[in-house]
């Protein structure tokens, strides 16, 4: 058997920048300032510029970013927030952690993300916001969602955890709504050496509230105008992210090239559905997700051929024990169907063309055996 193709090897991005990363860490150690220092300030400025946004506040994790934009928008007990059924549980937990109620809607079956039509169907007098999730790197149609939210007086919040580099009509900033939460978990397109996140917005009030909330609600020492949390990004993570940000466009371009290679091979391959990307959407290709019947069987066959895979996600939030008391929830047939069919194939900028072809060869072989 040929050499295995892992789903992801986190040693590769570190190895590619080991000298720069060592230098970044050394800067922090030599300075002796580990929180809310110049590395974070520089990263916030650089990432905001890269996103085409006015403000960026670095925080401790992607989940912290989600929680803080909910709180910064004044959402709390008695409020409802429309969320996609097909997403990571963190999106829902950010709503429940504020005492609000997530109201799920099914995604579009083709793009797998929330739409304005879906969100509109769930609006009630208690609705305060819509949470759009750019899932797998595929952006939602924020133009339609923005029009809906403006017309109904709702906030448009964005879970951009998987979408660093996604675009709408060629613009990264059009992906942010009122505020967007980014994750720098190590597996992401832009990954730290641990947890990290950021809130990106053009709204100075949201930015100011997030900056207070991330640091105990403290304006100055012992001056606490609001109840905050400890959700600060560490200087070491900011320093490392600055070095990786320099190569993010190059790495994302490689992901896009691999996605085109995969898509070309999927054409005419029976038994599998690949991603569908509208012409206005610039996919960030954090994940390359296909749909297959007998998903678990196909996955076992790929594993036997040395091909690493993952499932995003096998159990949607409305099916988890953690959220069963938040319901009852409406039927979500598309979400349930996706949870049974989705399969994530290897996708990272260090994957070679030969490895990508091996993944597709193995997939074709595994599909050919189904029913045989």
Mean of pLDDT over the chain: 96
Q: What is the pTM of this model?
A: 0.96
pLDDT at 351: 98
Whether 110 contacts 89, CB under 8 Å: no
Q: pLDDT band for 217, please (50, 70, 90 cuts).
A: confident
User: Any idea which fold 247-369 has?
Assistant: 3.90.1150
Q: pLDDT band for 220, please (50, 70, 90 cuts).
A: confident
Starting at the edge strand found earlier in the chain, the sheet holding 80-84 runs 55-59, 197-201, 179-183, 155-159, 127-133, 80-84, 101-105
Measure Cα distances from 106 to 95, 118, 211, 284 in Å.
17, 7, 33, 22
pLDDT at 231: 95
Token look-up 């290709």 returns 285
Rounded to whole angstroms, how far apart are CA atoms 230 and 214? 5
pLDDT tens figures, 6-15 = 999 999 999 9
Higher pLDDT, 152 or 368: 152
Rounded to whole angstroms, how far apart are CA atoms 86 and 106? 7
Whether 258 contacts 351, CB under 8 Å: yes
pLDDT tens figures, 157-182 = 999 999 999 999 999 999 999 999 99
Say if residue 193's pLDDT is above 80.
yes
Residues of the chain with CATH 3.90.1150.10: 247-369
User: Any idea which fold 11-105+112-243 has?
Assistant: 3.40.640
Residues of the chain with CATH 3.40.640.10: 11-105+112-243
């Amino acid at each position: 058997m040929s050499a295995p193709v892992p789903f992801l090897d986190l040693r590769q991005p570190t190895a590619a920048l080991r000298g720069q990363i060592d230098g970044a860490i050394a800067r922090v150690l030599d300075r002796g300032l580990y929180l809310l220092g110049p590395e974070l300030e520089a990263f916030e400025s650089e990432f905001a510029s890269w996103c085409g946004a006015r403000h960026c506040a670095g925080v401790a994790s992607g989940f912290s970013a989600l929680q803080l934009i909910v709180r910064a928008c004044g959402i709390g007990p008695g409020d409802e927030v429309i969320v996609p059924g097909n997403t990571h549980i963190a999106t829902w937990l950010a709503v429940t952690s504020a005492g609000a109620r997530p109201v799920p809607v099914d995604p579009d079956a083709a793009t797998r993300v929330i739409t304005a039509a879906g969100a509109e169907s769930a609006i009630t007098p208690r609705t305060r916001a819509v949470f759009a999730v750019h899932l797998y790197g595929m952006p939602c149609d924020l133009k339609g969602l923005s029009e809906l939210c403006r017309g109904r007086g709702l906030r448009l919040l964005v879970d951009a955890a998987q979408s660093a580099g996604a675009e709408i009509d060629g613009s990264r900033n059009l992906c942010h709504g009122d505020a967007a939460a980014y994750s720098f978990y190590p597996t992401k397109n832009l990954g730290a050496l641990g947890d990290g996140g950021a809130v990106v917005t053009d709204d100075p009030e949201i930015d100011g509230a997030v900056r207070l909330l991330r640091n105990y609600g403290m304006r100055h020492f012992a001056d606490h105008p609001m109840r905050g949390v400890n959700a600060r990004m560490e200087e070491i993570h900011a320093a490392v992210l600055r070095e990786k940000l320099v190569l993010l466009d190059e790495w994302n371009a490689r992901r896009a090239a691999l996605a085109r290679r995969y898509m070309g091979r999927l054409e005419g391959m029976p038994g599998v559905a690949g991603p569908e990307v509208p012409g206005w959407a610039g996919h960030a290709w954090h994940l390359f997700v296909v749909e297959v019947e007998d998903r678990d069987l196909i996955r076992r066959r790929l594993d036997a051929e040395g091909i690493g895979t993952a499932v995003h996600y096998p159990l949607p939030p409305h099916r988890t024990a953690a959220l069963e008391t938040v319901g009852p929830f409406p039927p979500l047939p598309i979400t349930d169907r996706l949870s049974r069919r989705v399969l994530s194939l290897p996708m990272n900028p260090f994957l070679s063309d030969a490895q990508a072809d091996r993944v597709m060869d193995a997939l074709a072989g595994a599909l050919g055996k189904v029913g045989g």
